[in-house]
Amino acid sequence: MAEIPYATEKEYTYENFIARCPLCGFRNIFNRVTDLQETEPIGFREVVCLNDQCKQTFNINGDLVSPAFRMLVFDCYPLKEEKKYSYCILNLAQAYEVFFSLYLRVELLFRPFSQDPDQDLNELNVLLLKLCEKIKTYSYRNLRNIFVNSVLLTFRPSSLEEASQFINDLDKLTDTPSDVDIANLPDSRLSQLLQMLKQSNINELRNQVVHKSAYRPSLDEVEDTIEETRGILFSLERYLSIDSDDINWYNRGA
């Protein structure tokens, strides 16, 4: 029996795994939800070529392992090459919101849960639903303010019980943080990043694009916004150790 070949030409986006068939050369775009029916990174998978004249089996592997907000930023590069500048802005604004949401899951759920191995997984799942329900109607500005104000706080929940109360009180963190409070952070680099985040106009630019004016951004605007987004989010990711959306990453003390 012939060995099943691997695709060597691959591309990865948030929604798709793209692989050139090693047998016929067809460029396959496998949608993660519809075609692959999974959203976890693909470590190994047998797939069937989508070319009707081929339909042969080959293997894919080596998927990009990155948090969703990073992949949304990386997706901007092919969009930029196709001159789909409006979609770049939408991706970047979404990347911010996805990062804020990930931060809340990590700080309010994953880390408190990892500190006590005897805590109930069912309770964690209940709180996850509670958090999602709480933040689903928040605007970009509210999420940003909650994120910044949470970073400014010295208190961090150490149990799911404390996390539950923190979630109840999220509305109290929606006010715009003051420049003075941000400047008073002991870590000057973190202070600088939070100030950059506060000053970013990505939500206003996104609103111009999606609302009735249907604003069309320029290449310069897109390149500046990509650079700004990477500088802010990727740096905050490292500073705050928001490395993964996988709870097991934090359970092992990473």
Residues in the chain, total: 254
* Token pair 């496998």 in the structure block, residue: 30
- Rounded Cα–Cα distance for residues 50 and 7 (Å): 13
In the prediction, which pLDDT does 249 show? 82
pTM of the model: 0.91
Q: pLDDT by residue for the chain (254 residues), tens digit each?
A: 579 999 999 999 999 999 999 999 999 999 999 999 999 899 999 999 999 999 999 999 999 888 999 999 999 999 999 999 999 999 999 999 999 999 999 999 999 998 876 778 899 999 999 999 999 999 999 999 999 999 999 888 988 999 999 999 999 999 999 999 999 999 999 999 999 999 999 999 999 999 888 999 999 999 999 999 999 999 999 999 998 888 888 875 44
Phi, psi of 31 (to 5 degrees): -75, 135
- Rounded Cα–Cα distance for residues 185 and 152 (Å): 7
Q: Report, in angstroms and rounded to the nearest whole number, the Rg of the chain calculated over CA atoms.
A: 21
- Rounded Cα–Cα distance for residues 107 and 240 (Å): 10
